[in-house]
Amino acid sequence: MRNLKGKIALITGGNSGIGYATAKELKKNGAQVIITGRRKEAVEQAASVLGVTGLVADQSNLMDINDLAMEVARCFGKIDILLVNAGVTKFSLIEYMPESIFDEVMNINFKGAYFTLSKFIPILNDNAAVVLLSSTSAHISPIQASVYAASKAALNAIMKIAALELANRKIRVNAVSPGPVSTEIMGKIGLTQALENQMTSTIPLSRFGKAEEVAKLIGFLASDSAAFITGSEYLIDGGQCI
């Protein structure tokens, strides 16, 4: 068990999936955890079950991001761990991609993630750890996921530059790129047995990942055990990108 006692962690999109699992993992290791999400009821319920602080904020809304940073600074001072996790997945062939879906995905996954990092830099402690949740989609070029894949590829580029810009403060910035993971988002994209079989056929370990497995990797990167790691992307994909 890694010691995160005395650390304050913020997780966007922490009311479900990988964000929820990470909140549980960081709290178990001693961190004081704040989760955010768009749905007030879901955030409050998750925060209650986890025993953490829940704040409502929409990562696609820059005013919400700014207000969130100010609220966290007011209530907690500075933070030690930032997981930029909130994101959406929408599918369409490039030929038929509606502008509204393009904007929704990019506003949350890229623009929102970018400005979440931007607004929280002033309230990160020196030696803090930042993790951006990316995806293997940035590497495997999945059909109908062009905008989603582009948003994650863009995030990987930002991660490397942020690692350089923040190195003088010993703030480490890394990315974690999961392959398919068993979370509620699979239901939202209409996962069928046939689709699951097709997806697992692309994974050498022949299964979906678990949110808890991704959470443990994020917990490692957030800890002092990863003190010499920055500017790196970690694939956790059962070999999908080999």
Strands (E), 58-164: 79-84, 124-133
Give the DSSP H/E element, type plus range, for residue 209.
strand 209-210
Query: How far, in Å, CA of 78 to CA of 224, rounded?
Result: 18
Catalytic pick among 20, 96, 114, 148? 148
Distance between CA atoms of 22 and 180, rounded to whole angstroms? 17
The verdict on whether 234 is a catalytic residue reads no
Q: Which residues contact 213 (CB under 8 A, 6 or more apart)?
A: 236
CA distances from 215 to 24, 38, 98, 239 (A): 8, 21, 33, 18
* Catalytic (active-site) positions: 148
